[in-house]
Amino acid sequence: MREVAIVAYAQSPQVRQEKVLNEVEMLMPVIETALTEAAMTMEDIDFVCSGSCDYIAGGAFSFVGAVDALGATPSKMESHVEMDAAWALYESWLKIQAGEISSALIYGFGKSSVGDLPDVMSQQCDPYYLAPLWPDSISMAGLQASALLATGRYTERDFAEVVVDSRRKAKANPAAQLSGDVEVDALLTAPYIASPLRRHDCCPITDGVSVLIITDKSALPKAKMKPVYIRGIDHRMEAHQLGIRTLSESSSSTQALAQAKQQAGIEQFDIAELYAPFSPQTLILKDALGLDNQVAINPSGGPLAGHIMMSAGLDRFGMSFKTLQHGEAKTALAHATSGPCLQHNMIAILEAG
């Protein structure tokens, strides 16, 4: 396997509602920041790949306009996944493994504020049996949380503790939308929105964009910077129908981790950035991934502190990169998810170079 490094990451502020800028206007300065960080120009980038969702933007071909932010004249080798941009990263990583390219710029973007995200996501379900019932994403996560409580492994207090931890860590993340000191007991007095979930158990609606640059080791930018290597990466899908799955577990995360560990030859991680948009999912993932208390979970605050739908998975790579680059840890596990109730999971193992 070729050694692939993350060399730059930039993100817009994770705001509740971006009232002025459109996606392209948000994207241009962030691309520039990432390129500057890597001391690269667009000409140095062999391949560009993005992740976004038309139904979030409210129009077909929403990714097409984003090409305007690339200065793609002359044309560029470019592709798009209608998935979280973590999968755009995966596609780019594969292209490097295939020897087709040695550098890639990956971006994800979304303005969830313009629509009703939980309702929009209900239309990801089976269109004949499920979608006509409009099962919104919060209600589905509520089902999953109930299933977790029913196992007796965790209580609602544990959910609240995940939130307290996220908000506290997010104080150090200037891009976070939600941060601060909150008390478990106070959180537990909040009303349910889809029991056993309370508002704070759910990731906040967020507008934003993120950009990440990777290169083959042979093509590291000349900038004086510390690369972070992707030592292993894998992703796995589960069944769609919620009734078929054991919702209190995440078998595909376990499976992807095993594959990633095999590629990386690394067993232990200092930190883990988990894409758990609902607090109980953090606990499900911790168990599925065998993360003990030695592993710092979501030093950035994680998706509960800011959640750019379609980029939150890529952000887990970016946040891990930042932590490793600052020397605060040596190895990281980055996780991304897609589909209702953690249907599809990606695991990557990152190591500071």
Partner 1 sequence: MDIDLDPIEQFDAPIYHRYHATSSRAITPFLHAMKRGELLGHLSTATGKVLFPPLGACPESGQATQIPVILSDSGTVIGFTTVHLPIPGSKLVPPFTVANILLDGADQACSHLISECGINAVAIGMRVAAVWRSAEVWNNSLENIEYFKPTGEPLVDIDILQQQCLAKAEQRKEPVKGGQNA
Partner 2 sequence: MSNHRVAICGVGQTERYKTKLSCSLAGLVREAALNALADAGCGWSDIDALIIGKAPDMFEGVVMPEAYLAEALGGVNKPVIRVHTAGSVGGSTAIVAANHIKSGLFKRVLTVAFEKQSESNAHWALSPSMPFRPHFNSGAGGMFAPVIREYMRRSDAPEDVGCQVAVKDRLHAINNPHAHLHLPDIDIDTVKNSPMLWEPTRFLESCPSSDGACAMVLAAESHADTSAHKPAWVHAMAMRSEPSFYPWREEVNPEASRACAKDLYAQAGITQPRKQLDMAEVYVPFSWFEPIWLESLGFAESGQGWRLTLEGATSRDQGGDIPWNCSGGVLSSNPIGASGMIRFAEAALQVRGMAEQRQVEGAKRALGHAYGGHSQFFAMWIVGSEKP
Are the C-beta atoms of 336 and 310 separated by less than 8 Å?
A: no
Rank residues 25 and 183 by Cβ distance to partner 1 and give the closer one.
25
Structure tokens at 341: 């109730």
Token pair, residue 100, equals: 């087709």
**Site size toward partner 2, by CB under 8 A:** 59
Residue choice 3, 39, 65, 193 for contact with partner 1 (CB under 8 A): 65
Binding residues for partner 2 restricted to 204-263, rule: CB under 8 A:
234-241, 252, 255
181 CA to centre of own chain: 24
Task: Find out whether 343 and 143 touch, Cβ atoms under 8 Å.
Answer: no
Closest by Cα among 301, 290, 302 to 336: 302
- Binding part of the chain for partner 1, among 83-91, 127-135, 233-241, 325-333 by CB under 8 A, reads 127-135
Rounded least distance, CB 75 to partner 1, Å = 11
Annotate 160-176 with DSSP letters as a single string. HHHHHHHHHHHTT-TT-
Rg (CA), the chain: 19
Name the binder of 63 from partner 1, partner 2, none, CB < 5-8 A by kind.
Answer: partner 2
123 touches partner 1 by CB under 8 A:
yes
Please report how many Cα atoms fall inside a 13 Å half-sphere around the Cα of residue 162, on the Cβ side.
28
Nearest by Cα to 8 from 228, 173, 222, 309 = 228
Of the pair 164, 260, the CB lying nearest partner 2 is at 260
CB of 72 to partner 2, least distance (A): 5
Stretch that binds partner 2, among 75-83, 139-147, 159-167, 177-185 (CB under 8 A): 75-83
How far from each other are the two terminal CA atoms of the chain, in whole angstroms?
16
Q: What phi, psi does 179 have (nearest 5°)? A: -155, 165
Q: Which of 21, 37, 97, 158 binds partner 2 (CB under 8 A)?
A: 97
> Which of partner 2, partner 1, none does 76 bind, CB closer than 5 to 8 A by kind?
partner 2
Q: How many CA atoms lie within 13 A of 23 on its CB side?
A: 32
β-bridge pairing 103-111 and 47-51 = parallel
Find the length of the chain: 353
Verify binding: residue 4, partner 2, rule CB under 8 A.
Answer: no
Interface with partner 1 (CB under 8 A), residue total: 36
Chain residues that interact with partner 2, rule: CB under 8 A: 1, 48, 53-55, 59-61, 63-65, 67-68, 70, 72-83, 87, 90-91, 94-95, 97-100, 120-121, 123-128, 131, 234-241, 252, 255, 338-340, 343-344
Chain residues that interact with partner 1, rule: CB under 8 A: 18-22, 24-25, 28-29, 31-32, 35-36, 41-43, 55, 58, 65, 67-73, 113-116, 119-120, 123, 127, 131-132
